[in-house]
């Protein structure tokens, strides 16, 4: 059976689209996990700074305290006691919300890529099916 240039190109395109589909699918699965369990995929910095009041207080001082190139009269004082705990819990909930939303955003992008990939796969697949039928 002699393969035409069109058949060879169609097979190559099918191969590439299947490879792309598998790669994008793995990213999409990761984002499903990240959307479902955002605390699992939260980055290390955010996770560590929310583990204790002391770690959170240090991160606040680092963020809002005197900076090397900032104003020298910055007298930021982080909250103490129950107020610090409440702020840490609020910040953790916000971080989880951001993680969940960004995962959903990426998941929608990957689903669009998978849809386009499927359409790109269909064209050469139909060409191959038609050439195989005509070869009989």
Residue 92's domain comprises 5-135
Mean pLDDT, the chain, whole residue set: 89
CA distances from 97 to 40, 55, 72, 93 (A): 13, 20, 34, 6
List, for residues 22-39, the tens digit of each pLDDT value: 999 999 999 999 999 999
Number of structural domains, the chain? 1
Whether residue 124 contacts residue 10, with contact meaning beta carbons closer than 8 Å, is answered with: yes
pTM attached to this predicted model: 0.76
Locate 15 and state its tokens: 């191969």
Whether residue 17 contacts residue 117, with contact meaning beta carbons closer than 8 Å, is answered with: yes
Q: How confident is the model at residue 66 (pLDDT cuts 50, 70, 90)?
A: low
Q: How deeply is 47 buried, as exposed, middle or buried, from its count of CB atoms within 10 A (0-12, 13-18, 19+)?
A: middle
Confidence (pLDDT) at 53: 93
Q: Of the given ranges (1-5, 17-21, 56-60, 66-70), which has the lowest mean pLDDT?
A: 66-70
């Amino acid at each position: 059976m002699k393969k035409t240039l069109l058949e060879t190109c169609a097979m190559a395109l099918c191969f590439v689209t299947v490879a792309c589909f598998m790669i994008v699918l793995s990213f999409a699965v990761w984002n499903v996990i990240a959307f479902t369990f955002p605390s699992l995929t939260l980055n290390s910095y955010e996770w560590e700074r929310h583990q204790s009041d002391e770690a959170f207080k240090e991160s606040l001082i680092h963020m809002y305290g005197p900076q090397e190139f900032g104003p020298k009269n910055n007298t930021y004082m982080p909250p103490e006691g129950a107020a610090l705990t409440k702020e840490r819990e609020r910040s953790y909930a916000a971080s989880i919300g951001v993680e969940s939303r960004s995962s959903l955003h990426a998941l929608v992008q990957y689903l669009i890529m998978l849809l386009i990939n499927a359409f790109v796969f269909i064209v050469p697949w139909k060409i191959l099916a038609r050439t195989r039928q005509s070869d009989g």
